[in-house]
Amino acid sequence: MTMLFILTMVPKGKSDELSRKIVEEKLAGCSLIVNLQDSKFFWEGKLTHEKEDLIIFKTLEKNSEKIFKRIKELHPYETPFIGQIKLDKTNTEYENWLREVIG
C-alpha cells in the first residue's frame, strides 16, 4: 500500500538535502518540495512565523517505520511535524513503479 509522509522545515538548502538522502536511501520513491510563503506557530511561548518548505514523500507501507525514524534523525527542528497518510487507493502502474524503485 502506498503511503505519504509530510513534513515542514525551514528551506535554506536543508529541504533538498533531507529529501535527497531519503530518496537515495530508497526509503521513498519520490519527494516533492513545495515552498510555503508563511507558516505561523507558537514557539517558546511566542507567536512566530517562518518561510518553510512542505516536503511530501511517496513510499510503501513496509518502509513507514524506517522512513519515520530517518526523517527524525535528519530533521533540524527540535520538535518537527512528521505526518503519515495511508492511501486507500493509488493507480496500479504507480504502485508497481514504486515497488520496482524501492523494493
Instruction: Please report, for the chain, the start and end positions of each structural domain, with discontinuous segments joined by +.
Output: 2-102
Task: Compute the distance between CA of residue 84 and CA of residue 76 in angstroms, rounded to an integer.
Answer: 19
Mean pLDDT of the chain: 93
User: For residues 67, 35, 94 and 75, what is the CA-based torsion angle, rounded to 10 degrees?
Assistant: -10
Give the full edge-to-edge strand order of the sheet including 82-86. 30-35, 53-60, 2-9, 82-86
Domain 2-102 has CATH 3.30.70.120: yes
Which tens digit of pLDDT belongs to each residue from 33-87?
998 878 899 999 999 998 899 999 999 999 999 999 999 999 998 899 999 999 9
Residues constituting the chain: 103
Q: What is the pLDDT of residue 103?
A: 85
